[in-house]
């Protein structure tokens, strides 16, 4: 990977010495992910893992208003069957697992909103910095009426416990920065104008440590957690993505009106 930056599909990958910065660059859409962006993120992980000079990866959203606001909802209009939902959740699992398996430490700069996939992406990073304006959540119970994969439910349970996982998803609310830090979802909360400099300092600190120690520690923890996670629960995903409620959730979101849930 060369010094400088390259932009493909609203994802910018930039080298800063021994660090690589990945910026999700759709600020007008709160950095909501497109299919192309998911593919680019996976490819960027492959490129960074192959570059031995990269010691730390920093992920952030452009614009200061959002880290990543989930998947671009307009893309769900192409779904025709419940199998599309299964394939979608499998895609998210693959992308998140790829980020989680990066050999070097990852640092998420959660400035503004991290929703849905954005929240999950932040949670698979090793360290997370936020600001007082940070908001983290997965409000799917009031937006789309879909669900998470079992691997992602497991990640939430690992981090905050079963009771808080249910409370967070049932109420469909966002955690503010103080709550997220108290639950361990943010490691530090710093002022907006200090976020970039703190990220630079922390990345430099990590890059200066023994890379094999960090790599082995990260992989050991990943394996311990992976061994606890269920492999699949396709029936649960089919139940949501094949429902009338999911189609209503997508339509109501795009039409900017309250959803009319039926439970079917």
- Model confidence over 16-30: pLDDT tens digits? 999 999 999 999 999
* 12, β-bridge pairs: 7, 23
Domain boundaries, the chain: 4-192
- pLDDT tens per residue, range 192-202: 999 999 999 99
Q: Which of 12, 145, 122, 136 is nearest to 73 (CA)?
A: 145
> What mean pLDDT value characterizes the chain?
92
Task: Please state, in angstroms and rounded to a whole number, the distance separating the CA atoms of residues 191 and 10.
Answer: 26
Predicted confidence band at 8 (pLDDT cuts at 50, 70, 90)? very low
* 110, β-bridge pairs: 130
- Give the pTM: 0.92
pLDDT value at position 111? 96
Predicted confidence band at 228 (pLDDT cuts at 50, 70, 90)? confident
When mean pLDDT is compared across 30-44, 78-92, 185-199, the lowest value belongs to 78-92
CA distances from 180 to 88, 128, 185, 214, 243 (A): 27, 10, 5, 25, 32
Cβ contact 64:111 at 8 Å: yes
Token pair 């730390």 is at which residue?
56
pLDDT mean over 135-162: 93
Cβ contact 60:23 at 8 Å: yes
Task: Please state, in angstroms and rounded to a whole number, the distance separating the CA atoms of residues 194 and 211.
Answer: 26
Please give the sequence-ordered ranges of beta strands (E in DSSP) within the chain, or none if there are none.
4-8, 11-16, 19-24, 56-61, 66-69, 106-110, 113-115, 127-130, 135-137, 175-176, 188-189
What is the CATH code of the structural domain delimited by 4-192? 3.90.226.10
Predicted confidence band at 230 (pLDDT cuts at 50, 70, 90)? low
Q: Is the pLDDT of residue 232 over 70?
A: no
pLDDT value at position 3? 44
What is the Cα Rg of the chain in Å? 18
């Amino acid at each position: 990977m060369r010094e400088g930056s390259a932009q493909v599909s609203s994802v910018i990958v930039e080298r800063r010495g021994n660090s690589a910065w990945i910026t999700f660059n759709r600020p007008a859409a709160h950095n909501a992910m497109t299919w192309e962006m998911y593919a680019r993120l996976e490819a960027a992980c492959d490129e960074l893992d192959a570059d031995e000079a990269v010691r730390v990866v920093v992920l952030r959203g452009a614009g200061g208003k959002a880290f990543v606001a989930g998947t671009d909802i307009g893309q769900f209009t192409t779904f025709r069957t419940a199998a599309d939902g299964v394939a979608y959740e499998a895609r998210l699992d693959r992308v998140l697992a790829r980020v989680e398996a990066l050999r070097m430490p990852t640092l998420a700069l959660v400035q503004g909103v991290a929703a849905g996939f954005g929240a999950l992406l932040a949670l698979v990073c090793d360290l997370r910095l936020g600001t007082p304006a940070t908001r983290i959540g997965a409000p799917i119970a009031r937006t789309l009426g879909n669900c998470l994969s079992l691997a992602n439910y497991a990640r939430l349970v690992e981090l905050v416990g079963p009771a808080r996982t249910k409370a967070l998803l049932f109420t469909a609310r966002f955690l503010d920065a103080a709550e997220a830090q108290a639950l361990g979802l943010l490691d530090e909360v710093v002022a907006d104008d200090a976020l970039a400099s703190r990220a630079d300092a922390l990345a430099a600190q990590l890059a200066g440590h023994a890379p094999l120690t960090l790599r082995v520690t990260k992989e050991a923890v990943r394996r311990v957690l992976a061994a606890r996670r269920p492999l699949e629960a396709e029936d649960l995903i089919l139940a949501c993505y094949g429902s009338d409620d999911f189609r209503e959730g997508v339509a109501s979101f795009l039409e900017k009106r309250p959803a009319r849930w039926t439970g079917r």
